[in-house]
Amino acid sequence: MNVNYWISEDTRIKEDLRKVLNEFLYSMKLSCKGASTIYYYRLKLEKFLRDFGKSLSELTIDDVHTWLKENARGKKEGTINLIMSIISSFLIFCREEEYVNQVLVKRRWRPKKPQTTPRCLNYNELAKIKMVAEKSSLRNRLIIELLISTGCRCGEIRGLNVQDLDLKNRIAIVTGKGEKVRHVFFSEVCAHLLHKYLAVHPMGISALFINHQKKRLTLCTIQNITKKLGEDAELDHRISPHWFRHTYATNLLSKGADINYISEMLGHTNLKTTKIYTKVLLEDLIRSYRMYAG
């Protein structure tokens, strides 16, 4: 990801359009949106503005609707809704700043997104992952153990610095969505691995997880580490870092943890987001009942 992720330098976009785009991206940065979110918005909006090549004042509802339909082909409802949200938020910004004078995205265009439950690892799958991780490098094993025992997002693990760790109390300070800072707790296994890892960590480098060039790992690298572990463990499905987050939350809930505590540990701003895990637990209970009690 470019250091100036909130700045578009795409010369294929007209200069006046690029200026407005950069104003919007900068407003997102000021609102403390995550770097990966802003970067994703930038990529989608660059394509949107490249495809039109006309001034914002010339855009019509039909133009936007046609573009959205063409770019929705072959995509899932969730992806379509995300693209629509990006375009809509940009055009709302343009209207507020008087670059356009009409509503250009209609709510009724959004497809209905089926409600899904978070996908989690079961006990056997988690055991396989841990077993395979033991054969990995110290760095990669530590990443997996942190994902398992903290429920952190991939970006939060990536953003960890050495000074964010309190090994004595087994606490890490992470920065989540919206630059929200919270404390998370890690296991004794993590603490042991951290002691070993920090003993060989290069002095003077704050980033906890680095590559051979001593640069902070990318999100893609961490995602590939988890994907490969899933393949090596011979799971019958692909996994991503978020699977560990879902598993962490579901396990806490199954052990009787208070929903408010789980919400705080996950860094959720809305309790409704956390409550979806109760549905996962209910489905597991139903499956167990049907298996053992008919």
Active site (annotated) includes residue 130 = no
Active site (annotated) includes residue 99 = no
Residue of 141, 245, 246, 248 marked catalytic: 245
CA 112 vs CA 17, 47, 76, 81, 108: distances in Å: 31, 24, 11, 9, 10
Sheet containing strand 165-166, edge to edge, reads 165-166, 171-175, 181-185
List all residues 6 or more positions away from 96 whose beta carbon is below 8 Å from its beta carbon.
none
Residue of 153, 158, 197, 246 marked catalytic: 153
Helical segments of 175-218, H only: 188-199
Residue of 110, 177, 216, 228 marked catalytic: 177
Active site (annotated) includes residue 268 = yes
Count CB atoms within 10 A of the CB of residue 229: 22
Residue of 128, 158, 246, 268 marked catalytic: 268
Residue of 5, 41, 248, 277 marked catalytic: 277
Residue of 44, 216, 242, 275 marked catalytic: 242
Active site (annotated) includes residue 108 = no
Three-class DSSP category at 240: coil
Cα 146 → chain centroid = 16
The answer to whether 174 and 164 are in contact (CB under 8 A) is: yes
Q: Which long-range contacts (CB under 8 A, 24 or more apart) does 189-194 make?
A: 189/145, 189/149, 190/142, 190/145, 190/146, 190/149, 190/150, 191/167, 193/138, 193/141, 193/142, 193/145, 194/142, 194/165, 194/167
Residues annotated as part of the active site: 153, 177, 242, 245, 268, 277
